[in-house]
C-alpha cells in the first residue's frame, strides 16, 4: 500500500496547538495529489489543467481519534474503497503509531470543468484505480 | 433558527473556480464561532483563551450537493442534533436557494486545553445549547 | 475614509496564539474585496469572473507593530497611494487602538485572465479610484 | 546555498489559476522550517514548542516577478541578510528557471512565548545563522 509522510508544520496547527481540522482536509488533498503521481502514475495537475477534468469532492467524512501536534511525522495511507461510474471513494488513514489517528473517506466526482457536469471516470484513471485496488487487497 | 450569511470570496475558491472543500470546513468553524455569540450568547474566544476549554472536532462529515461560486451569498443555519456528556453534534446547512448546497455534521468534544483530555460540557454552554435546541424544534 | 472591522477568529491564529502572518495577507485580500463594493461601488467578483480582469499582486510589504489576538476587533482602513497605467498601490492600516498594529502596502496589477498579461486599469475602476483618492486626501 | 523544491499544488492556487499571494507567505514559512532542520541543524518545532521561543515576523516584503502555476516545481533558496540582537532578516528567492519569480525579505523577531516580549537570539540559533551566512557568502 502506498504511503507518504507529512511533517506537521507550525501553520498546520491552531491556537490549541494541534492540527486544525480544516487543514487536515487540505493536507489530505495533497496526499491524493501525491498518490496520483506516486501510486497511480498519473499527474493530478494535468487532469485539472490541460485536461479540464475536475476531481472535486461530493462528500467527505473524517474521524479524529487523536490530535496531531507540531513536529509530528504522520504517515498517510490511501485505499480505494469504491470505483463508480463518475465517482470514486478513497479511504485515507493517518498514523503516528500503530493505530490511526485519523480515518477519512473522501468521495471524488469526476467532472468536466468546461461544462460543469459529472463525466465518466477517464479510462486511464479507471485502469490505474483498478490496478491499485487489486494490488492492495 | 439562527442563520448567518457569508459572501464567497476570491480566496475561498480553488482553481476550479468553486469553494475549496477544505475552506468550507474553515468557514463552518467561523459559523460556529458566530453562532456562539449570536445565538448562544457566549464568547467562543473566551472558551479557547482565558477558560482554556477546547472545542475541537471528534468527527465531521459533509455532503456537497452543489458547488459554491465566488460572489455567492450563502446562508448558513445551525441545528443542535445531540448534546452528550462531553460532546455535542451540530448540523450545519448552507443555502443559496431553497435546497441546501451543503449539509454537514460536526461533532465537537469539550476538552481541557491544560490537561488535554475530555471534560464535561461547561454548565453555561450546556444550558445555552439546551435552550437553543428547544427553541428550534 | 472607508473602514471595516474584522473579529479575529480561532482559525486566523497560529500556535503562538496570534494572527498568522500569512493569514493577515488573506484577510487583507478580503478587505480589498469589501472596499471594492463598500467604497468604490464595484463588484470584485465580477472583475475576476465575467470580466476576466485579474487583480493580483506585483508586490506587497507589511510591518507588524503588534500582534493580533483571537477575539480582537481590528479596524482596517484603505488608502489609495498611487494610480498607475496598469497598476495601483494601496495602503492598508489596521487598528486595535489609536496606533496601527499593521501597516501594509499592496501593489495590484490589472491583468487579462485570458491572455495573462497586464492591461490598463479599466475605466470604471480608474474613475472610482480617483474619486476615492480625492475624497480621502 | 541550501535550496528546497516545492511542487505547486491545487490548493496553493486561486481562481486565477496561479499561486495565491497569501499562500506564498505560508509556503515561505514552511521553507524557513525546513531550512532550520536542513541547513541550520535545528528543529523549528522545538523552538516554538518546548523552548517557547517565538519566531514571528516583524515585517515582510515580497516582489512577484512572475506567477506560479499548478504543477510547477519551484526551487526556494534562503540567504541570511542580517543578524541583529533580537531579530534576523532572511532573503528568500524562488526559481522556476534562471530568474527568480519571487524575491522576499522576511524579518523574524525572537520572542518569549511566555512573556510575549523580544528576547536575544538564542546562542545555538545565532551560531548556526553565522555559520550559514559565512558559508553562503
CA-nearest of D8, D104, B12 to C60 is D104
The predicted structure's pLDDT at residue B16: 84
Judge whether residue B20 has pLDDT over 90: yes
Q: Tell me if chain A has a CB within 8 Å of the CB of B61.
A: yes
The predicted structure's pLDDT at residue B116: 85
Average pLDDT on C18-41 reads 97
* Substitution target from B4, B5, B8, B10 for chain C, most C beta carbons within 10 A: B10
Q: What is the pLDDT of residues C116-129, one digit of tens each?
A: 899 999 999 999 99
Q: What is the pLDDT of residues A56-91, one digit of tens each?
A: 999 999 999 999 999 999 999 999 999 999 999 999
Counting as contact any 3 or more CB pairs under 8 A, the partners of A are B, C, D
Residues D106 and C25 sit within 8 Å (Cβ to Cβ): no
How far, in Å, CA of B9 to CA of B18, rounded? Answer: 10
Q: What is the pTM of this model?
A: 0.96
Average pLDDT on A6-20 reads 93
Judge whether residue A4 has pLDDT over 90: yes
pLDDT category at A53 given cuts 50, 70, 90 is very high
pLDDT category at A48 given cuts 50, 70, 90 is very high
Judge whether residue A105 has pLDDT over 90: yes
Which residues in chain C touch residue A10, judged by CB atoms under 8 angstroms apart?
14-15
Angstroms from A70 CA to nearest CA on chain D: 6
The percent of residues above 90 in pLDDT, for chain A, comes to: 93
Q: Tell me if chain B has a CB within 8 Å of the CB of D14.
A: yes
Q: Tell me if chain D has a CB within 8 Å of the CB of B22.
A: yes
Helix D21-35 × helix C21-35 angle, to 10°: 170
Specify whether the backbone of C40 is left (phi greater than 0), alpha (psi in -120 to 50) or beta: alpha
Residues B22 and B12 sit within 8 Å (Cβ to Cβ): no
Residues C93 and C24 sit within 8 Å (Cβ to Cβ): no
Which residues in chain D touch residue C57, judged by CB atoms under 8 angstroms apart?
21, 64
Contact: D49, A43; criterion CB under 8 Å: no
The predicted structure's pLDDT at residue D19: 96
Angstroms from D3 CA to nearest CA on chain C: 21
Q: Which residue has the cell 499593521?
A: C102
Mean pLDDT of chain C: 96
How far, in Å, CA of C92 to CA of C105, rounded? Answer: 6
The predicted structure's pLDDT at residue A108: 98
Residues A117 and A87 sit within 8 Å (Cβ to Cβ): no
Mean pLDDT of chain A: 96
Average pLDDT on C40-61 reads 95
Residues B111 and B52 sit within 8 Å (Cβ to Cβ): no
Of the candidates C9, C29, C71, which has its C-beta nearest B30's C-beta?
C9
Judge whether residue C137 has pLDDT over 80: no
The predicted structure's pLDDT at residue D37: 96
Judge whether residue D137 has pLDDT over 80: no
Q: What is the pLDDT of residues D29-64, one digit of tens each?
A: 999 999 999 999 999 999 998 999 999 999 999 999
pLDDT category at A37 given cuts 50, 70, 90 is very high
The predicted structure's pLDDT at residue B137: 76
pLDDT category at B32 given cuts 50, 70, 90 is very high
Angstroms from A13 CA to nearest CA on chain C: 6
pLDDT category at B17 given cuts 50, 70, 90 is confident
More confident call, D17 vs B44: B44
Which residues in chain C touch residue B27, judged by CB atoms under 8 angstroms apart?
none
Contact: D60, C113; criterion CB under 8 Å: no
The backbone torsions φ and ψ at residue B6, rounded to the nearest 5 degrees and listed phi first, read -120, 130
Residue of A nearest to D71 (CA): A45
The predicted structure's pLDDT at residue D116: 85
Average pLDDT on C68-85 reads 97
Which residues in chain D touch residue B17, judged by CB atoms under 8 angstroms apart?
15
Q: Tell me if chain B has a CB within 8 Å of the CB of C9.
A: yes
The predicted structure's pLDDT at residue B89: 98
Average pLDDT on A32-45 reads 97
Of the candidates A10, A45, A49, which has its C-beta nearest D44's C-beta?
A10
Amino acid at each position: 500500500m502506498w504511503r507518504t509522510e507529512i511533517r506537521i508544520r507550525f501553520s498546520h496547527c491552531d491556537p490549541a496547538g494541534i492540527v486544525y481540522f480544516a487543514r487536515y482536509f487540505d493536507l489530505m488533498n495533497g496526499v491524493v495529489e501525491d498518490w496520483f503521481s506516486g501510486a497511480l502514475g498519473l499527474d493530478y495537475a494535468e487532469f485539472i489543467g490541460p485536461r479540464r477534468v475536475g476531481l472535486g469532492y461530493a462528500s467527505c467524512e473524517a474521524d479524529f481519534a487523536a490530535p496531531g501536534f507540531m513536529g509530528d511525522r504522520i504517515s498517510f495511507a490511501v485505499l480505494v474503497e469504491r470505483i463508480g461510474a463518475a465517482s470514486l471513494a478513497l479511504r485515507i488513514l493517518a498514523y503516528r503509531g500503530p493505530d490511526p489517528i485519523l480515518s477519512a473517506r473522501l468521495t471524488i466526482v469526476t467532472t468536466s470543468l468546461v461544462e460543469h457536469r459529472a463525466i465518466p471516470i477517464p479510462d486511464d484513471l479507471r485502469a490505474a484505480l483498478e490496478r491499485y485496488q487489486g494490488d492492495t487487497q
